[in-house]
Amino acid sequence: QVQLVESGGGLVQAGGSLRLSCAASGRTFSSYGMGWFRQAPGKEREFVAAIGWSSSLTSNTDSVKGRFTISRDNAKNTVYLQMNSLKPEDTAVYYCAASRGLATRDKNNYAYWGQGTQVTVSS
């Protein structure tokens, strides 16, 4: 069982930066693939970025490539999402998720979810 708590969201102007953190409980955090997803009002939850258990494999959705970076610190049971050059279309609730298997783009592959943190980017 893994419990996830996101933090770091807020209001930022376009072009600004935020770093989201996701703290996980449990002693087996390092064995989980981790992902970030986001959901804007009226839209489906969509994939943002994912990272394998050893950080050797990461992936981002095309709309955030070159702007967002996912990383993890297994010693701190934490995964991060560094978001730079933010745009108004990045406004959404951002969710952290844990997968017992591979960290893929498919949200159905993730068994555990955090409560989400709001990111609002003003123009």
Per-residue pLDDT for 4 more than 80? Answer: yes
Distance, CA of 109 to CA of 104 (rounded, Å): 7
Please give the pLDDT value at position 29: 87
Residue 22, pLDDT score: 98
Phi, psi at residue 66, to the nearest 5°?
85, -10
Q: Please, what is the Cα angle at 30 between 85 and 35, to 5 degrees?
A: 35
Residue type, 113: W
DSSP string covering 74-92: GGGTEEEEEE-S--GGG-E
* pLDDT tens, position by position, 94-110: 999 999 988 899 999 99
DSSP 100: S
17-74 per-position pLDDT tens digit: 999 999 999 778 888 999 999 999 999 999 999 999 887 677 888 899 999 999 999 9
